[in-house]
Amino acid sequence: MAIIVIITIILFLVLIGWTWSNMEEVEKEKKAGYIFSAIVVMILITTLIFSISSSGVEYEKQEMINPVRLLLVAVFTAINGFVVIQYIGKIIGRINNQSIDREEAKKKITLVLIIFLVVAIIECMYMKKIQLGILNMYKAQLMR
């Protein structure tokens, strides 16, 4: 468990650093605001994905769901951030230094969001399998 937490923290640090550098000459306050807002939005979206994936998953004890949710949402928020946040940050940086116009940016952002939608659907199925696997491991330990 501790290894997963450490890896998740590293993923978030890399995501923040990568997004920060992708935003090039954007003011520091705007970079920080974008990164913070984007991570909060990604947490909300990932929590929604978790909730959808949890349908049909019956936990033996209700108190089990919170640690599982926290762990999966944290890990997948970081992963989702690599799919969305840093790319949109790069587009924002390119808009800021005028190397891309707003119409081109809209097209690129739309493409990123379509890719993320596909990733979210796959992720939902994967999260369900992970939850079922955790429950199976828990039941196996109870049988010992």
What percentage of the chain has pLDDT greater than the value 70? 100
Give the contacts of 73 (CB within 8 A, at least 6 positions apart): 43, 46, 47, 50
Question: How confident is residue 32, by pLDDT bands cut at 50, 70 and 90?
Answer: very high
- In single-letter form, the type of residue at position 91 comes to I
Return the DSSP state at 144. -
- With beta carbons less than 8 A apart as the criterion, state whether 57 and 132 touch: yes
Model-wide pTM > 0.75: yes
Instruction: List, for residues 79-123, the tens digit of each pLDDT value.
Output: 999 999 999 999 999 999 889 998 999 999 999 999 999 999 999
pLDDT given at position 60: 79
Token representation of residue 25: 């000459």
pLDDT given at position 89: 94
Question: Residue 23 — φ and ψ, nearest 5°?
Answer: -80, 0
pLDDT given at position 31: 95
Domain ranges of the chain: 2-143
Calculate the average pLDDT of the chain.
Answer: 92
Question: How confident is residue 63, by pLDDT bands cut at 50, 70 and 90?
Answer: confident
Mean per-residue pLDDT, 8-29: 95
Give the residue among 71, 16, 11 at the shortest CA–CA distance from 38: 16
Burial label for 71, CB within 10 Å (0-12, 13-18, 19+), is: middle
